[in-house]
Amino acid sequence: MDRSAKILVAGARGLVGGAIVRQLRAQGFENLLTPFRAELDLTDRAALDAYLAQHKPQFVFDAAAKVGGIQANNQFPGDFIRDNLLIQTNLIDASYRAGVEKFVFLGSSCIYPKFAPQPMKEEHLLTGILEPTNSAYAVAKIAGIEMVKSYRRQFGFKGISLMPTNLYGPGDNYDLNNSHVLPALIRKFHEAKQSHAKEVVIWGTGTPRREFLHCDDLADAAIFLMQTYDSDDIINVGVGDDIAIGEVARMIKEIVGFDGALVQDTSKPDGTPRKLLDVSRLTALGWRPKLSLREGITQTYAAYQATLAAA
């Protein structure tokens, strides 16, 4: 991928897309296409075809998706499967027909079975039932994986599929109704500190274990794999280590500086008991994350405070 290459980052205003844009620019790539949704609606196939015909990107990072936490996935499964199928189907097919040289599809670790062996290897895909709370989103992502693989087999389309673990970082969604666990905890503890609350309530038992990857590390891995990986086999992107949700909550409580109590609402769902990726395939290629979880959360909280101050 030459530094002068024209690169489209779909979903460039989101957590992952924004991080990919930052990393590309940091590495000297300046010929970037980063359309707003108002400029390019990926669910509108005719508009997408016209955009690609006009701009002719050589490389595409598909970071566009409808995402959310347990509550959002539970409440709006129809929205999640419809929007994600539309976005990825349009983008994969249109990119192939527009002559894109290489395509990166970003999936999710939720594609793996709810009770998959831990850590989860790439070959565990489709070996068991999915977590019901986000099965609609997971099925859409699995369809995207199969579409990329099928286009490689039938048309020789150079697409690769990356499966990131749980992500966080600057630009995350902090809406308590549809955000993921880590940004939701940052906001809860920050607001509790500001209001001098006596306690913060978190969902579930606190025992489920999760792996967290900073979005900048994912972006670095995505660019690395765009340039070094060419296979129809999916590849996991994570840190290879996990932590209990309760422990994450205590870490965020400390970083934010909240002095009150931490209370767990065990009537709320836990979700999948454990989600840890086997990243040996990625590690063997020579890539490792740079940020520790504490460093990443500290940086993310600072970015959240800056956003609030700007607003």
Which residues participate in catalysis according to the annotation?
137
Q: 202: which residues sit within 8 A by CB, 6+ positions away? A: 185, 188, 245, 246, 249, 262, 263, 264, 265
The C-alpha atoms of residue 271 and residue 61 are separated, in whole angstroms, by 29
- CA 178 to CA 184: how far, in whole Å? 9
C-beta of residue 225 within 8 angstroms of C-beta of residue 186: no
Question: Which amino acids are annotated as binding site, given as ranges?
Answer: 11-17, 106-109, 141, 164-167, 180, 188, 203, 210, 270
Q: Which secondary structure element, helix H or strand E, spans residue 200, and what is its range?
A: strand 199-203
* Other Cβ atoms closer than 10 A to 245: 22
Give strand pairing partners of 7: 32, 59
In contact, 9 and 20? CB cutoff 8 Å: yes
Residue 160: HSE in the Cβ half-sphere, 13 Å Cα cutoff: 22
Q: How far apart are CA 115 and CA 127, in angstroms?
A: 10
Residue numbers belonging to the annotated binding site for NADP(+): 11-17, 106-109, 141, 164-167, 180
**Is the Cα torsion angle 211, 284, 62, 156 positive or negative in sign?**
negative
| Annotation: binding site for substrate | 188, 203, 210, 270
